[in-house]
Every structure is written in C-alpha cells, then in structure tokens.
Structure 1
Amino acid sequence: MFRYFIGCLAVGILLRFLCLNLAPSPVLQSIGHAANEDWLRCNIFLVLISHLVKEEVTIFHNPSVINGSPAITQTLEFIGFLAFLSFDSLKDDMRIPLSIFVFAFNPFSIFAFGNRSIGIIPVIFTVLIFVALIKGRTLVASILCGVGSYINIYPIFLMLAVLARCRDRKSCVCSSLFAFVFTLGSLLFATYYYEKSWSFLRHCYLSNIYARNTTPNLGLFWYMYVEMFPHFNVFFVWTMQLIIFSICCGLLFRFYEDPPFLALLITMTTGVLRPYNSVADLGCSLALLMHWRHLFICEFFLLG
C-alpha cells in the first residue's frame, strides 16, 4: 500500500501545483467560495496563523476562503494525505488505498488547494474522527469532535456516531460526552480569556446560520436567498437547520449498529445541506465513501 501511496502523493501534488499555477484565479475563487462563517474573530486557531495568511476581500471571512502561504497549504495538504493513509490502512484487505486515490485526483480537493485554501483543516479533523471511531477510541473521537466543533458548528453531529459506538456502555457514553464538552468548553473559555468578550460566539456559530451572502457557489442557499422575500429569511434558515438535525437523528435511529457508516452519512448530509458548503468538504466526503465501495457493486448488480 505504501508504494501506491507514494505514487498518488506525487501525482496528486503535481496536479495541485499545476492547478495553482495555471488555473485562472477568478475561476478558482468562484469554485472555492464558501462564505458560511464570519471569521472576523480572534480565536486560538486564528492567532497561530494570523501572521502567515492573507484574507480574501469578501463580506464573510472563513477558513475555506483564507489564502494561506505556500508553506501552510503544502504542509496541511501533506498531513491530509497522511490522515487518509491511516484511514485506508484500517482495512487489511485493501491493497490499493482508494481513499488516497480519490483525494489525490478529486477535482474538488485539487481546486481547494489551487485556491490556497486552508479548508483542509476541517477535513483532517473529520478523517481523524473516522480513524478513532473505527478503532473504537471513542474518547479520542470525542476530543476531536470538540476541536472540530470549535472551528465549525457542524462536526457536533458526528458525536451521534461516537455515542452510537459506545451505546452498550453507560460509562463510555458519560466519558465521551464529558471529553467533548470539556474540550469545546476549554477552547471557548480560552478564546473568551483572550478577547475579554463573548461576542465571538455570534461570529463563529450564528454566522453559520444567518449567512446572507448571495455569491453563487456549489450550495443551494445563495439561490434561495435570491428568490425569497426578505421577511421569510429567518423562517427558511431555521427550517433548514431543523431539517439537518432531523435527518441526522433519523440516521442515528436507523444505522446506530454501524457507527462508521452513520458518521459517513452524517458527514455527507451536513456537507450538502449546510449553508455555503466548501469544495474541500465535498472532496473529503467522496474520499471517505471509498471504504463502502462494495455498496455500489451490490447496487450495480441489482440494477443490471
């Protein structure tokens, strides 16, 4: 598998550099636009990279549309490849690392790198959550969910898969919930200690829900905002969030016996229905889907 990994890594990095140097900048910015967070806040994550990034001139500033320096984007992309390698190595019968293959040649992932996006960070956390979940390390998965939920609100739904993993052990459920709440709470209080204000919560979480930017992208929200009367906006926004919550809860009741597959469905659901989804999230979902490729074989057989 390591030989295939080196090949996919080399070709994938080559394609990314070709996209970075040859693709027109307006096209990349249009494809990579994901204005789902107002990133005008000082948190621990932003403090660490504040001297190495240059933000796009947009209304909403988001990790997915922040232009990072080449040192940041290249390092994060390599870490992403390593995360998918650890994910593929969980299957003993897998000779070819298909998740790495899809991640390397996926246009969504390539365009995200071409846009010098650091949206790869939520992707890395998502893959690591899957690795910890499959290995049965629910405590580690809960901590990773807490860190991911600090950056973005939607990884909190992956805690449903973590709780499904330890459904037969009450102590495991309690420890997982405590680890998640403690991790997220510690990061939030650290941000409050740095800012001396709780106003960052509005920019971090409510801006995910109330983003009103109508710049076209791969999502659906921008078009619905264009076609909708303004006085219906609040009703529509909260209805869509309720739909996401209802679907994730329904998936929990249906697939609680298979937590990794449940996590995959939750990731794909939130990636499609969230306001202003990013191409990096779509590329991550397609790469993770390769571990359940046997479902497509069965479907093809039935249709044939």
Structure 2
Amino acid sequence: MNSFEFRKKIHSKYIITLIFSLGFFIRIILLRNKNLVSLLSNRVEIATAVTSYKRLKEGLFLYEHGISPYSGGLFHQAPLLLVLFSIIKLISNSETLVSLLFALTDIFSAWSLLDLSDSMFSKNSSSNLWKKYISVSLFLFNPYSIISCVGMSTAIFTNCFILTSLSYVQRRKSIQSIFFLALATYLSFYPVVLFPPLILILQKNDLKKKDSISKNIILFLIELSLLLLLSFIITNSWDFLSATYGAILFVSDLTPNIGLWWYFFTEIFDSFRLFFIFVFQLHIFVYIIPLCIRLRKYPFFIIIILCGLMSILKSYPSIADVVLFMSLFPFLHSIYSYMRHIFVTTICFLYCTFLGPAFYYLWTYIGSGNANFFYSITLVWNFNLSIIITDIVFAILKMEMEIERPDMKGIDVIQVNY
C-alpha cells in the first residue's frame, strides 16, 4: 500500500466516523426530549398496532405481573421483544437505556449498509467511495429514519435484521444471512417474501444448486421453528401465534395507518371480509415468482422491489418500511439514467409528508374532516410508491435490453396499442 492509498484509507475512516457520530448524536439528543418522543410515538404514521412502543410497554407490564401479555387484545408483538426490554428494565428502570438501544439499532443498520456497500461497490474507485458515504448518509440523515427511531417504532429492529441479512448474503455467508432473515420474519412475518431472491444470490456461485436450495430452505425453517419454540417457552402458551401473526394475517386491529387495509376493512361487510383478506394477503406474495423468473439475473434488484411492495401491501405499514426501501436506493445507481419519474415522485413524497398529518389533524382533532381526508392522502402516498416500483422495473428492463441489444441504445420504448 503506497502513501496515497494509506492517506485515502485514513481519510475515509474519518468521514465514516463523522457520519456515524452525527447520526447517533442527533438521535440521542432528540430521544432525550420526552415531549417529542411522546408526540411521535402516538403518530399513526410511525406507530402501528404491531410496532407501537406504547403497546409494547403495556405488554411488558402484564408480562412482569404474571399475566399473559396477549390477554387484553392490545399487544401484538413477538415474545422475544418482551424478554429484551424486561432485561433492559432490570438493568435500569429509566428510559435512557431504551433510548440508547433504539439509537444503536439504527447505527447498526447503517453499519450493515456500509458493509453492503463494500460488497456492492468497488473499493478502488474514489467515486464508489463517495457512493458508500452517500448510502450511509441517506439512511442516517433521512428524516423518516430519524422520526421512526425517535418515535420508538419497533419496526426498526426488523429493518436492522433485514439489512444485516443482506450484508451477509452479498458475502455468500448463508447461515448468518438466513438467520437474520428468520429473525426479521419472526418479528413481522412479511420479510419471508425476501427468501426466494436471497436464495438466488446464494446459489449464484454454487455448483450444487439443488442441494443448496433444499439446504437453505431447511435451515430457514429450523431457525424460524427454534424462535417460535423459544417464544412458547417464554410465554408457556401458543397464544402469541394468534395474537401476533393472526393479527397481521386477519387484520384484527383497524387502527388507522398509512396503509391500504384499515379503511377498506372498516367499511366492508363482514360476510365478504374473509375473501378480501385472502385477496389482500395473496397480493403481496403473487409477485415473487414472476419477479424471480423474469429478473433472475438481478436478484438484488428483486429484493429492493419486494421491499417496496412490502411498504405498500403489508397489513400494518409505517414510514419505517419506506425507510428500508429508501435505504436501498443507492444500490440502484446503475439504472438511475433509465428512470423517468425521479423528480415527480420526490415532490410527491414531500406533498404527502406535509398533507398527511394535516388531514389527520382535521379529521381527529378539529372534526372538520372525516376518514376520507386521511385515507385519500395515504392513497396518494402508496400510489407514489407504486410509481417508483414501476419505474425501477422499467429501468431494469431497459438496461437489460441495451446490454443485450447495443443497437437499441438511446431508442425510446413505446407501447403499441392494438
């Protein structure tokens, strides 16, 4: 290593340390403001029925007093979270350690992103070095990421496990990658959709592909089963299955959120409820096979697309799900030039960010609006996300066409109507 490369490496470490330190201290300072934490933890855009820290505290209170945390129908989170927070409470009864846990979880997520960037970008290029800085900065200084952390949404743990899984999968470490995906699936169920593209990445350089697939499937099922068994040992009951995954699958809590489900199932007749639950749940899984077939050469792009679909189609989405989707945007750098709606979708995010809370305030506090006000802006929000996903798919296909057909480079693709 020559002196120039050495200086560049030292300079890089200083910048990374500065980015991480700023991201950490911003979160810690904001988490010390109890009024702000209380305000954000009550926001429907941040805290849902399955990610609310206030509901977690309610479940923890029942658990510590020997009562089933799932008996009241209010708590819908995984039992291992109860154990984690009860240990923290034993160490210190103040909220300082809890705040530290949430801040460090985001820092660990950013570290996984940095690790992922090291695997995805060349280490020798100075431009790629800046891409690494940007990928970490876009996560740590993303306002949605900061308020998800300060609002103490437990969805950030799921995001952390998913990003850690992706950082391991790019290094072909199947056991660690599948373990962290199993943890994410255990916490919020829907990350299971990322398993097929994860397998595509793992089997890329594996000569015994069939053996590799079956081995990884068995490993995933064993790890998930062990987590469920551990949960049974903790609660001494299987009630947590219906209270957690049952609530996610059957949408038992219709508290408003930024998703598409709550308003629909509030208005629908009970006789049609089961049918539409099946249709809605199927909708998130139906894209997996077509994407894995058509875009099998680009499994990481499939993961990004599925993260976007999760942020739209899961039963209890929050802005933390959009944070996960956005955190992977830097890895789309090879298709940016093919994307057509970047400016419009960015403006739409700003539009929804300001109007969403305003419409909710008009509905629930002033009473001059109704549920349609808030639901209409969530429709715009989700429509915008769907436009981004469509744009990504178009850009991938356009890039693929130009690689396979260089003579088509620069020629616009148009749809022919018959």
**1:33 is the counterpart of 2:26:** no
Gaps of 5+ in 2: 1-11, 52-73, 90-95, 341-409, 413-418
Distance 1:255 1:183 in 2: 28
Corresponding residue of 1:272:
312
2:116 pairs with one of 87, 101, 121? 87
Q: Is residue 2:215 matched to residue 1:175?
A: yes
CA 1:231–1:291 in structure 2 vs 1: closer, same or farther (change >3 Å)?
same
Larger radius of gyration: 2
C-alpha displacement at 1:51, in angstroms? 4.9
Give, in angstroms, the shift of residue 126 of structure 1: 0.7
Q: Would you say how many aligned residue pairs link Structure 1 and Structure 2?
A: 291
**Structure 1 position 201, deviation (Å):** 1.3
CA 1:4–1:143 in 2, change beyond 3 Å: closer, same or farther? same
Offset at 1:242?
Answer: 0.7
Deviation for aligned residue 1:25 = 3.7
Q: Secondary structure at the match of 1:233?
A: helix
Counterpart of 1:107 (choices 116, 120, 143) is 143
Question: C-alpha displacement at 1:13, in angstroms?
Answer: 3.2
Tell me the CA shift for residue 221 of structure 1: 1.5
Contact in 2 for aligned 1:36/1:277 (Cα 8 Å): no
Q: TM-score, normalised by structure 1?
A: 0.84
| Contact map agreement 2:311 2:322 (CA 8 A) in 1 | yes
Matched, 1:3 2:14: yes
- Shifted more, 293-302 versus 120-129: the winner is 293-302
Structure 1 residues 45, 213: closer, same or farther in 2, change over 3 A?
Answer: closer
CA-to-partner distance for each residue in 1:49-100, whole Å, 9 max, x for gaps? Answer: 22547xxxxxxxxxxxxx9822322222222222222122221242122221
Task: Report which stretch shifted further, 89-98 or 153-162.
Answer: 89-98
Q: Tell me the alpha carbon deviations over residues 202-239 of structure 1, each in whole angstroms, 9 at most, x when there is no partner.
A: 12211111224333322121222233233322222211
Q: 1:1-304 to 2 correspondence within 5 Å?
A: 1-17=12-28, 19-20=30-31, 21=33, 23=36, 25-30=38-43, 31-36=45-50, 39-40=75-76, 43-52=79-88, 69-90=98-119, 91-92=121-122, 93=125, 94-96=128-130, 97=132, 98-165=134-201, 166=203, 169-300=209-340
How big is the alpha-carbon RMSD for the aligned residues of Structure 1 and Structure 2? 2.8
Q: Distance in 2 between matches of 1:24 and 1:190?
A: 32
Residue 119 to residue 24, structure 1, CA distance change in 2 (3 Å): closer
Q: CA deviation at 1:284?
A: 1.5
Percent identity reads 21
Q: Distance in 2 between matches of 1:120 and 1:302?
A: 42
Query: Which deviates further from its counterpart, 104-113 or 10-19?
Result: 10-19
For the residue of structure 2 that corresponds to 1:135, the secondary structure is coil
The answer for unaligned runs of 5 or more in structure 1 is: 54-66
Is the 2:50–2:76 Cα contact (8 Å) retained in structure 1? no
